[in-house]
Amino acid sequence: MEDVLVLGIESSCDETAAAVVKNGRQVLSNVISSQIDIHTLYGGVVPEIASRKHIERINQVIEEALVQAGVTLEDIDVISVTYGPGLVGALLVGVGEAKAIAYAAKKPLVGVHHIEGHIAANYIEHPDLEPPFLCLVVSGGHTHLVRVMEYDKFEIIGCTHDDAAGEAFDKVARAIGLGYPGGPKIDKLAKEGNPHAIEFPRAKIAGAEFDFSFSGVKSAVLNYLNNCEMKKIEVNRADVAASFQQAVVDVLVGRAVAAAKKLGENRIAVAGGVAANSYLRSTMQAACDKENISLCYPSPIYCTDNAAMIAVQGYYDYICGKRSGLDLNAVPNLKIGQR
Ligand code: KG4
Ligand code: ZN
């Protein structure tokens, strides 16, 4: 079969990104223009600012991705773009751009689901990884246990009933004064703290053994901080970070391993921004080793938002026959597996 070069475009939240990937596995370029500096000033992502920054940067980012890959638009076979879920104004920038390029260059267009992209990030550095496998998706907006049946077929085994894991990290980080984005900062500070200093709750959902809830642990941290303030007790922020992280990681690892055992899956992949968490990685590794389950996760750069993962899933969607029309629109609440 001839090589297939896919251009991936990602603009669903606060990273403007473009990448070129060969045959779904080989990353030729991966350009990410982060807006973190601007959003940090506001303590979180401001949707309107995100859209405006995307429109300023997207052309240069795509140009850079082509140059770094050593190709021109002529060489590209497929244009893939995130069309949901995400912030509608941010998504529209990438979708509009991808449609314009596909139309002008007469190339096929494939709309990609952002979370399916996160899952596909695992294919980049694990050449032997193929469906079926179980994937724990943990990002700023999503917490899902997904059974990847085929490259383009997914079954949801569990999901969060309220906050996503990354959202809880960000909110707790803000409460202890670490700022945005909180995940990496909690990860770092927790290394200096005692994970058993404070007992935060691990929520179970009655009748849904593989679902999650993180609003309880978040509220427990906020209550703990309020209580300390009222009683004028000095807060050990490292202990709070470590104990909170321990509570979240216990639940994520426990549910993922239990689901794998119940479903008879001997391979777990982890994906999404929170998959970059060092404590989650080491705890998951220890639990999987104990159960003889093989574990994989992407390098941190492919865990957080990037366009290489969109090009990878775009490749598999394309190979599986998916094509999007020039009427492709942004779908902010797109469901996993929705075609
Ligand atoms: O996947 P992602 O880049 O964007 C979404 O699709 O949501 O995930 C961003 C989330 C943020 O909540 C961020 O705090 C979290 O991933 N995150 C981390 C770490 N790095 C990023 N959470 C915990 N530990 C980390 N090292
Ligand atoms: Zn993401």
90 lines ligand 1 (CB under 6 A): no
What is the distance in A from the centroid of ligand 1 to the CA of 92? 22
- φ/ψ (deg, to 5) at 263: -90, -5
pTM: 0.96
Mean of pLDDT over the chain: 97
- The DSSP bridge pattern shows strands 267-271 and 294-296 to be parallel
Distance CA 169, CA 275 (A): 12
Among 184, 76, 123, which Cα is nearest to 309's? 123
Residue nearest atom 3 in ligand 1 by C-alpha distance: 304
Hunting for tokens 């029309």 — which residue is that? 325
User: What pLDDT, on the 0 to 100 scale, is given for residue 106?
Assistant: 98
pLDDT in tens, 5-46: 999 999 999 999 999 999 999 999 999 999 988 998 888 889
Q: Is the CB of 121 under 6 A from ligand 1?
A: no
**Helix (H) or strand (E) run with residue 241 in it:** helix 237-263
Q: Could you give the 3-state DSSP secondary structure of residue 87?
A: coil
Rounded to an integer, the average pLDDT of 82-95 is 98
Atom of ligand 1 nearest to the CA of 12: 6
The answer to whether residues 152 and 322 touch, using CB atoms and an 8 Å cutoff, is: yes
Structure tokens at 98: 């991808």
Q: How many angstroms is it from 168 CA to the middle of ligand 1?
A: 10
Q: How confident is the model at residue 113 (pLDDT cuts 50, 70, 90)?
A: very high
Is residue 84 lining ligand 1, measured as CB closer than 6 Å?
no
